[in-house]
Amino acid sequence: MEILDSSIAAEVADQLLQIQAIRLQPEKPFTWASGWKSPIYCDNRLSLSFPAVRDLIKENLVKSIQHFYPEAEAIAGVATAGIPQGALIANDLKLPFIYVRSKPKGHGMENMIEGKVTPGQKVVVVEDLVSTGGSSLKAVQDLKNAGFEVMGMVAIFSYGFSVADDNFEEAGIKLVVLSNYEAMLPRAVEKKYISDEVLKSLETWRKDPANWTP
């Protein structure tokens, strides 16, 4: 995993905290679908309701693609949260846009990929959030199965789990994020969203989320 720029990572983290797209509540943890208890909940879809934050994210995702994937010929959003971000980016870059469903549409053409499928086309995948990377890499594989050449992925935020790094490395897919858990924590302390004592608990969670207890 790579970060576009450390100052941008801090700025994006600040904005996500401010609009409560990132919520931190270790005393009353969230429960993920996996059953994990989590002191953090990240819903980057909220950024779409704040034009200044939306522009900050869009502009820097565009910069990420221009810098790391200059040969991109199309943008692919991962349903559902990657769709609006991907469409905004594709519009700025004047590139074709497609999106990948989590499962085939249950009627009509029963498509897994919506949009013009062009085998051999070089595509960059857009995600809003990366946790373990499982669903993101499934979308990558679906694009490959359809004949696309997947150059890599960009995302707004990552929890920075080692399992995600391992999964992306094994898949041979480059991941570039605007911000991540490591960049967010010091901003949360500085802006007084959390105390130094709570920081220790949050750092422990990231190292072993499956066994973390509040």
Domain CATH number, residue 123 = 3.40.50.2020
pLDDT at 34: 78
How does pLDDT run across 39-61, given as a tens digit for each residue?
A: 999 999 999 999 999 999 999 99
Of 19-23, 108-112, 113-117, 153-157, give the lowest mean pLDDT range: 108-112
Q: What burial class does residue 11 get, using C-beta atoms within 10 Å of its C-beta: 0-12 exposed, 13-18 middle, 19+ buried?
A: middle
Other CB atoms within a 10 A radius of the CB of residue 201 amount to 17
For the chain, what is the domain count? 1
SS3 23: strand
Residue 121 included in any domain: yes
How many Cβ atoms are within 10 Å of 156's Cβ, its own excluded?
A: 26
Look at residue 109 in the predicted model and tell me its pLDDT.
55
- Cα-Cα-Cα-Cα dihedral sign, residues 47, 180, 13, 63: negative
Is residue 86 annotated as involved in ligand binding?
no
The per-residue pLDDT of the chain, averaged, comes to 94
For residue 155, the SS3 value is: strand
- Residue partners of 70: CB distance under 8 A and separation at least 6: none
pLDDT of res. 106: 54
Known binding residue 101? Answer is yes
**Residue 133 annotated as part of some ligand binding site:** yes
pTM (predicted TM-score): 0.94
| 190 is annotated as contributing to ligand binding | no
Residue 169 labeled ligand binder: no
| 113: nearest Cα among 79, 87, 84 | 79
45 known member of a binding site: no
Q: What angle do CA 2, 184, 22 make, to 5 degrees?
A: 110
Give the pLDDT score at 110.
64
> Which residue type occupies 116?
K
Residue with tokens 């992925």: 153
123 touches 143 (CB < 8 A): yes
For the chain, give the number of residues. 214
Is there a domain that residue 211 lies in? no
Tell me, what's the pLDDT at 107? Answer: 53
Judge whether 212 lies within some domain.
no
CA atoms of 78 and 194, how far apart (whole Å)? 32
Strand 74-78 vs strand 2-3: parallel, antiparallel, or unpaired?
unpaired
Q: Is 134 annotated as a binding-site member?
A: yes
The Cα–Cα gap between 211 and 214 comes to: 10
d(Cα 203, Cα 214) in Å, to the nearest integer? 12
* Residue 138 domain-assigned (yes or no): yes
Domain-located, residue 207: no
In a domain, 137, yes or no: yes
143 is in an annotated binding site: no
Over range 3-26, report the average pLDDT: 96
User: Residues 121, 113: contact at Cβ < 8 Å?
Assistant: no
To the question of whether residue 132 is assigned a binding role by annotation, the answer is yes
pLDDT value at 104 more than 80: no
Ligand-binding annotation for 107, yes or no, is yes
- Structural domain contains residue 214: no
**Residue at 213 is within a domain:** no
How is residue 77 written in tokens? 């959003």
Task: Quote the domain boundaries for residue 163.
Answer: 4-198
Provide the percentage of residues in the chain whose pLDDT is more than 70: 97
Average pLDDT, integer, range 63-70: 98
